Amino acid sequence: MNYFPAFLDLHGRRCLIVGGGEVAARKARLLHSAGAELTVVAPRLAAPMQQLLRNAALCWQAREFDAADVAGHWLVVSATGVPEVERRVAAAAAQARVFCNSVDNLPQCSFITPAIVDRSPLVVAVSSGGAAPVLARQVRARIEALLPAGLGRLARVAAEWRDRVRHKIAAPAERRMFWERVFESAQARDAADAAEMIPALLDASLPSTGEAWLVGAGPGDPDLLTLAALRCLQQADVIVHDRLVSPEILALARRDAEMIAVGKKPGCMANSQEQINALLVELVCSGKRVCRLKGGDPFIFGRGGEEAQALMEAGLAYRVVPGITAASGCAAAAGIPLTHRDAAQSVAFVTAHGKDSIDTLDWPSLARDRQTLAVYMGVRRFPELVGKLVAHGRPANTPIAIVERGTTSAQRIVRGTLGQLSLLAEAHRIEAPAMLFIGEVARLGDPATDEAMTPGAAPGRQRLALRVTVPATGRGA
Ligand code: SAH
């Protein structure tokens, strides 16, 4: 962060404005509305500042700025538009260790002011740190449209009830749940209803145990989270997440949420499924709201079903929030339609993880043409996979595509044919997590960004990393 965001209490605190023009008046009005005691130093005042002088108690020194003016003030805002004066004000402020804002003059600023959405006491401040003020204002406009006008009123009512609610609901976690309910339902109605709703909700009995949400985090790109998943992330007390869930997504969680990683890496058993189930049950029993965050969709090769069952058997509440599964996310990133009227009437989601699943798959059916196979967890089983499919009649020249770390900034796409699969994977050193797509549709998409298609010519990983640049989202990757 280039700037530290903060809200200042300026009530009764002296602040200095240098300049008497329109811009200075605008800043003065804002500082005045925050309760600051203002001194204005300017030889002349334009009409807006004169008006402010008539309506508000501010002190005007009708002269040029002097470095000694800064002393005794908490903040200085300089808006003279004269570079030489701006420089002198900034230097005097720095000397006196007083924060200074020189309007529209970033290099001379020791603090900058954000674009604001004012629903006092609720205030949203947006800043691009001076990098793109227009962007900050656009974001402000969007938030402005998002927040109902009555929200300030609701916040004031909540403030009036805070002590009584604290008295009635002692446990902080329960109290937070109470307020979440108030604000969620009050946003749906008119904020004016809030006052009547609070006592009714306070009387209703509150659940003392927590709950679990089995949430799909999608394949990696945070843009592919659902709104419901985002809400869970922001409300949960604890987030129990897989290793596959990206740091960008975890960064969207509530700041004070407890994070528990329970990764199961291929080949190493960090946490057994039984341990994870027991952990979820224990957390929910202790009254926590638990977000069980899993890559992709929780119910597709995610063992979410077992976790749901464990919670159900323990008599605990849970909810499932679906996610975009790796097959959909990676296919989209590679421009591959999983079904296509001309090329694939069906799609099968298959896992080739472990010896057992290879042997128990229905190969005659999987080898049929006009269908797409989306293979999860298959990287170590490519040779057996090809052998089975070809033996059951799928032609060796069937198109394939491998998408490694799909939808992330490290995404790689390799295309070829079924017969070349093992060689391609080896030459390009494909690693988990990767999706394999088999079928005519794998020919589609934009190969311009793919890795080299001939196995023999494939260079080492370092050179590949330089050559292949793939955007995180969008068709054609
Ligand atoms: N529940 C998940 C799948 C978990 S199994 C889902 O619905 O997507 C883990 C496998 O998913 C990985 O071995 C890999 O085959 C696939 N996978 C998950 N994320 C992926 C990604 N970003 N890119 C490629 N494959 C991915």
DSSP symbols for 168-223: H--SHHHHHHHHHHHHHHHHHS-GGGHHHHHHHHHHSPPP-S-EEEEEE-BSS-GG
Whether residue 433 has a cis bond before it, omega within 30° of 0: yes
Index of the ligand 1 atom closest to the CA of residue 432: 13
Lining residues, ligand 1, CB within 6 Å: 219-220, 244, 294-297, 300-302, 325-326, 330, 376-377, 403, 405-408, 432-435
* pLDDT tens-digit series, residues 39-58: 999 999 999 999 999 887 78
Q: How far is the CA of 93 from the centre of ligand 1 (A)?
A: 56
* pLDDT tens-digit series, residues 454-475: 333 333 332 222 233 333 443 3
Residue of 214, 226, 241, 244 to mutate, ligand 1, most atoms within 8 A of C-beta: 244
DSSP code of residue 441: G
| Neighbour tally for 144: CB within 10 Å | 16
Buried b or exposed e, range 88-99, using 16+ CB within 10 angstroms: bbbebbeebebb
Index of the ligand 1 atom closest to the CA of residue 376: 15
pLDDT over 50 at 270, yes or no: yes
Token pair, residue 197, equals 């709703």
Q: Is 342 exposed, middle or buried (0-12, 13-18, 19+ CB in 10 A)?
A: exposed
Index of the ligand 1 atom closest to the CA of residue 302: 1
* Alpha-carbon torsion angle 136, 142, 148, 152, nearest 10: 0
Index of the ligand 1 atom closest to the CA of residue 405: 23
pLDDT value of position 76: 98
**What is the C-alpha separation between 3 and 128, in angstroms, rounded?**
9
pTM of the entire predicted model: 0.61
* pLDDT tens-digit series, residues 153-171: 888 888 888 998 898 888 8
Question: Over the chain, what is the mean pLDDT?
Answer: 87
pLDDT value of position 112: 95
* pLDDT tens-digit series, residues 79-94: 999 999 999 999 999 9
Terminal C-alpha separation, the chain: 30
Compare 157 and 35 and report the one with higher pLDDT.
35
**Average pLDDT score over residue span 130-143:** 91
Tell me the residue type at 96. A
* pLDDT tens-digit series, residues 279-309: 999 999 988 889 999 999 999 998 999 999 9
Contact in structure between 279 and 210 (CB atoms under 8 Å): no
pLDDT value of position 448: 62
Q: How far is the CA of 76 from the centre of ligand 1 (A)?
A: 54
pLDDT value of position 148: 74
pLDDT over 70 at 187, yes or no: no
**What is the C-alpha separation between 306 and 34, in angstroms, rounded?**
55
Residue of 435, 438, 473 to mutate, ligand 1, most atoms within 8 A of C-beta: 435
pLDDT value of position 473: 40
Give backbone dihedrals phi and psi of 462, rounded to 5 degrees, phi first.
-60, -45
Task: Tell me how far the alpha carbon of residue 87 is from its chain's centroid.
Answer: 40
140: left (phi over 0), alpha (psi -120 to 50) or beta: alpha
pLDDT value of position 468: 33
Q: How far is the CA of 338 from the centre of ligand 1 (A)?
A: 16
Q: How far is the CA of 246 from the centre of ligand 1 (A)?
A: 12
324, 310, 256: which is closest to 282 by C-alpha? Answer: 310
Confidence of residue 244 (pLDDT cuts 50, 70, 90): confident
Buried b or exposed e, range 160-180, using 16+ CB within 10 angstroms: ebeeebeeebeeeeebebbbe
pLDDT value of position 191: 61
Q: How far is the CA of 131 from the centre of ligand 1 (A)?
A: 37
250, 251, 301, 241: which is closest to 276 by C-alpha? Answer: 241
pLDDT value of position 446: 66
Compare 191 and 339 and report the one with higher pLDDT.
339
Whether residue 219 has a cis bond before it, omega within 30° of 0: no
Q: How far is the CA of 453 from the centre of ligand 1 (A)?
A: 23
Percent of the chain surpassing pLDDT 90: 65
Residue of 242, 377, 473 to mutate, ligand 1, most atoms within 8 A of C-beta: 377
Q: Which residues contact 415 (CB under 8 A, 6 or more apart)?
A: 399, 400, 401, 402, 442, 443, 445, 447, 450, 453
225, 214, 276: which is closest to 248 by C-alpha? Answer: 225
* pLDDT tens-digit series, residues 375-422: 999 999 999 999 999 999 999 999 999 999 999 999 999 999 999 999
Contact in structure between 417 and 397 (CB atoms under 8 Å): yes
Nearest CA to ligand 1 atom 5: 301
The bridge status of strand 371-376 relative to strand 434-438 is antiparallel
pLDDT value of position 452: 44
Index of the ligand 1 atom closest to the CA of residue 218: 8
190, 178, 179: which is closest to 153 by C-alpha? Answer: 190
Q: Which residues contact 196 (CB under 8 A, 6 or more apart)?
A: none
pLDDT value of position 470: 37
Positions marked catalytic: 242, 264
309, 284, 314: which is closest to 299 by C-alpha? Answer: 309
Contact in structure between 159 and 183 (CB atoms under 8 Å): no
Q: What distances in angstroms separate CA 328 from CA 97, 300, 333, one per listed residue?
A: 56, 12, 9
Of 17-31, 179-193, 457-471, least confident by mean pLDDT is 457-471
Contact in structure between 243 and 265 (CB atoms under 8 Å): yes
Q: Which residues contact 82 (CB under 8 A, 6 or more apart)?
A: none
